[in-house]
Amino acid sequence: MSSEYLIQELRTLVGSADLIKRLKDGDDSAYSEAVLATYFSKMGFEIRLEPAGVESCKNDIAVRVDSEWINIEVKTPQRSNLQKEIEKNNQELFHVASEISVSRDVYIFLAKEPTCQEQEAIVKKTLELALREQQPAFGKCSEVAYIKTEPITKPIWIRSTMIGQINIGTTSYPDSLRPIYETTPVLFLAGVRFLNKKGADVNLSINIPFEDQRIISMLNQKRKQLSRSSMNMVALDTTHIPIKPFTKKHGEWVSRLRKAFETRISRRIGAVLLFSRLSYREKTSLHSSLFVHPNPYKNLPLSFTNKCDLNSYELPNTGRSFPTRSNTSTNPTQR
């Protein structure tokens, strides 16, 4: 992911020297801050970086709206220990792509984390389905895994792996998993597409329900860096964790977020912006959801919240151009 464009844009913003240095050092949280700073700058707002916060703390970004400043605290949570453990424990499923001798799209939908014995059964069933002459083919291992194989659609001759989210609304999965997958963020556990040693182009995705329960502690941590006397927003970059801010159902994080607003968090935080980024070869696409809460001290103005919509906004991974787009007003309570 290239930071060249962001660095050029940041040079025009007040207080950007430290952020630029962190970007050059490969700091992922700096990338999240830079994305938001350049986005709001492109939306026509005056931006300051590292503005003075409460008790000599520095907030990440300040956005000027009319005569007042809105402080934004940015958090970029990394994978939790539990998520890392799940990824590590399911490597055998990941390696099934190297054993398939015909070009296939392969989807493995898990109802829970499988045991070692269950993984062996899943691998065996997946290979058997992939080799069937009649495609697409469907199968299951007990009630743990549902498997689908089909002829590959668009061969891509590169090898890549990624951990991220899956938009389950556009993916065919069994109805029996619907209660689980539509109430729990789905971890896109392993995605790989490559030409394997057997000469087959294989696209594999493994999906497992997974909950990340850290949101309240994150909001509490950021709340302490915000003043009651200012307008404040917390932005969470959920790129590395299984949250889907761009779908209608946000799983347990959303219910916990709303619950958090019933506590003293509401005295300092006027909104929470969830956003994520997905990188392709030439661009990084952004997706977001905004949750506005009426702060009893300072409400965020609609002229600001109506522009907190990063959906379909794109950053170039190469070159100098940075396309802008018009922002249309939508329901400010939830996007």
Which CATH architecture group holds 4-78+213-244+255-316? 3-Layer(aba) Sandwich (3.40)
pLDDT, tens digit (0-9, with 9 covering 90-100), for 181-206: 776 777 776 666 666 777 888 888 88
- Rounded to 5°, the CA angle 232-236-240 comes to 170
Please give the pLDDT value at position 318. 55
Please give the pLDDT value at position 208. 85
Question: What Å distances lie between residue 334 and 70, 163, 242, CA to CA?
Answer: 19, 26, 19
SS3 sequence of the chain: CCCHHHHHHHCCCECCHHHHHHHHCCCHHHHHHHHHHHHHHHCCCEEEECCECHHHCECCEEEEECCEEEEEEEECCCCCHHHHHHHHHCHHHHHHHHCCCCCEEEEEEECCCCCHHHHHHHHHHHHHHHCCCCCCEEEEECCCEEEEEEECCCCCCCCCEEEEECCHHHCCCCHHHHHHHCCCCEEEEEEEEEECCCCCEEEEEEEEECCCCCHHHHHHHHHCCCCCCCEEEEEEECCCCCCCCCCCCCHHHHHHHHHHCCCHHHHCCCEEEEEEEEECCCEEEEEEEEEECCCCCCCCCHHHHCCCCCCCEEEECCCCCCCCCCCCCCCCCEC
Please give the pLDDT value at position 132. 94
Residue ranges of domains in the chain: 4-78+213-244+255-316, 81-209
The model's pTM: 0.69
Please give the pLDDT value at position 291. 84
Please give the pLDDT value at position 204. 85
Question: Which residues of the chain have a pLDDT value below 50?
Answer: 1, 54-56, 156-170, 245-251, 319-335
Please give the pLDDT value at position 315. 83
